[in-house]
Structure 1
Amino acid sequence: MTVNSEAPVASLMLVDDEPNILQALRRVLRREGYRLLMAHNGEEALEIMQNEPIDLVVSDSRMPGMDGAELLSRIQQTWPDCRRLMLTGHADLTSTIRAINEGQIYRYISKPWNDDELRLTIRQALEHQLAERERRRLEALTQAQNQELSSLNAHLEERVQIRTSELQQVADMLELAYGELKRSYVTATQVFSSLINQRLPRNLQTNTQVRDLIKAFTETHQCDEESQRSLLMAASLYNLGKMTWSDRLLSTPSDRLSTTDREVYKRYPVTGEGLLMALDYLEDTAQVIRHHRERWNGSGYPDRLKGEEIPYGARLLGLAVDFIELQRGMVLQRRLPRDDALKLLRKLSGRVYDPAMCEAFVTLCIEQAPDLGLGGAAIKSLDSRRLEPGMILVRDLHSESGMLLLNEGKQLTQHLIERLIRFEETEGTRYVLWVKMPDGDPE
């Protein structure tokens, strides 16, 4: 029953016992490029599902025999990857609740529907599905790469003897890039943050400094582990919504934007939240990203939240982002010196920022300077040739392209130092690392 002869971008099944409703749906969607199949009842729909790959089902709620809620529940159990929408009238509240609870539908659409809204909802559902598939693909890819690296490590000496110099360099680079990847959401998010940095000019890659500030603040104020993890992931991904911007918009200070560009700018927190919606474990992180541009006096965006209506993490992230971006020239036309940026934060306390949090944040920046990597007198800044085994990395090490090479907290070995030097020779560069000696050792 294919009705679209063009190359399909997705396969949709429309289910309704009324032929005129099916025809109306087909008219709405015929220009969208989908492969459309139709079923007149639940049994016919399940038979099609057995024989055809279906990406999305749109089902009426009221049908004789098997109703829409039962159909979508059975599809969810057998084909959970298939997205499910339900058409429902105002009197179908009970059926709608069943579909939500049992069928875990993506969304329900009231009849009579708005054509544009229906098309948009279907596009969003398919985009959500595509993002979830891509997440699973990346997770599988990361797991496969970790397994490969483990195998390489187990037989490293043997492989060095039989591989060519070019393959050895590739193995070293892979181990430096991925060998330090821990099984935690925070570390995985840092890798994604490194990928985001590939899109940004070097002077606009602010994630690392923002993350250092968030980490120091949450540790100083004894935030619980769950909140700290969510905030660190938000610090790594807060500018995800900027990835669709043009190079011109990326490099223009926010106070110099035109009216049109400013509207685009104001949407980036919501865009960032939307891109993370498919990842359930990032729900809290997505909320922090959505609201980090709100203001204490209610004049922010996107929801004009005020005071403590703004999530705690969003208030903190907004402070850290502004502090770093003011110094990078991303807010005002000129770059503010670090001390001037702190003075401006205090000046805007009570209007833009939570007064108590702002004072604590400024005090932290003055006393500890976590954004500068000055965690104590024992910390040293050394190039790779001056490193010694036993030293502990106190800041993440990234390549010039923004790729995560070594995680904070890694204790250096002679073998790892030699690999880093070989990687530098391959890349034609030199790296400076922030390190400390183990507790109890002399500086």
Structure 2
Amino acid sequence: MLTDTPSLQDTAVATVLLVDDEPNILRALRRVLRQEPYRVLTADDGEQALAVMRESAVDLVVSDSRMPGMDGAELLSRIQQEWPDCRRLMLTGHADMTSTIRAINEGQLYRYIAKPWSDDELRQILRQALAHHQAEREQRRLEALTRAQNRELAALNESLEQRVAARTTELREVADMLDLAYGELKRSYVTATQVFSSLINQRLPRNLQTNAQVSDLVKAFAETHDLDEELKRSLLMAAALYNLGKMTWDDRILNAPSERLFAADRETYKRYPVTGEGLLMALDYLEDTAKIIRHHRERWNGSGYPDHLKDEQIPYGARLLGLAVDFIELQRGMILQRRLPRDDALKLLKKLGGRVYDPQLCEAFVTLCIEQAPDLGLAGQSVMSLDTRRLEPGMILVRDLHSESGMLLLNEGKQLTRGLIDRLMRFEETEDTSYTLWVKLPDGDPE
């Protein structure tokens, strides 16, 4: 048994075993593969080849058909039985067709190579075989990952169903609390999705963890516009889980703005809504949520994906989720190559109303963001958008204030004083402009 030099072994990406009883053939094959990034092992008969297989992880075997003792067909048949994942190729002459056919039937050959071979063709065949081998391994890995995720979701679902059963028993015992307890039970579905969302965030970099802000936007819009309770619950769960389909991506795709992805990476990105829907199919109570996730990348003019729906063919919840997701991801630099300031992101949404977004829904969404700013993470606090003449001493700034030229005037968290307000008003007069500030009352102050 021979191996390549240590320097080649250190950089090898695959292990290839060459089997032939003629030393000159083995030398010729090794010369052909000298420039290839393989770890090359050799054996001069079938028994020695099997010994090599037991000692080393071999990705591909190239065996001569005619060898004394164990011929190539028998060797490849035994390898197929013991190491089915290993690719198997046979070198054969025109007179060896009977042995070749037996090897195809018993050893399940990937391919046979006729003697005399072409060096370029031989190298190409090995590259294709190893590429196919690697692709199958990756497919099995992804399938195993998907099965594991489905098992995890199924386990969470089973736990949730147990909680539902326990709550139902309690409802039967306390009839006068039926309506209240039933509403709490449905809200627990949303709570369960927060668990899923936290699992998703373990995979995503911190700057790409957008679910919380998207959820705040969707919740505020649903409450402001009195959306149906069922739709509201489905939307909140979709906001928590819409990134589920990105879990199998590598970090390179995760960290790249979507508009900068091309070719295969772009296709991978465009599949994530369908992947997310598929992972939720086993959970019956998330059917509407899964539908919203599938269609949240559709566009009003039909240019979206995955189904190229247009206008009101797109589910209402998906239209709203798409607006919220784009608004946050534009500010995080996840769509364009640069991060958009919040106000610029709102202007872009408004500009795209009627093409990318439902025009009426877009107008209502932008108005909500301007007037209430639920995405600023100030849930439970009284936040107001005021011009300088309505400001009062003691109010606290919740967003940095910049001048028209981009200079920072006041930083977030600054408590306003009468002198500071007066100076700001004089600055407006000098610059012939006006400013709107996002402020809140001090903790403990009445609204």
Name the TM-score, length of structure 2 as normaliser.
0.48
Relative to the length of structure 1, the TM-score reads 0.48
Greater RCO (CA < 8 Å, at least 6 residues apart): 1
Choose 1 or 2 for highest CA Rg: 2
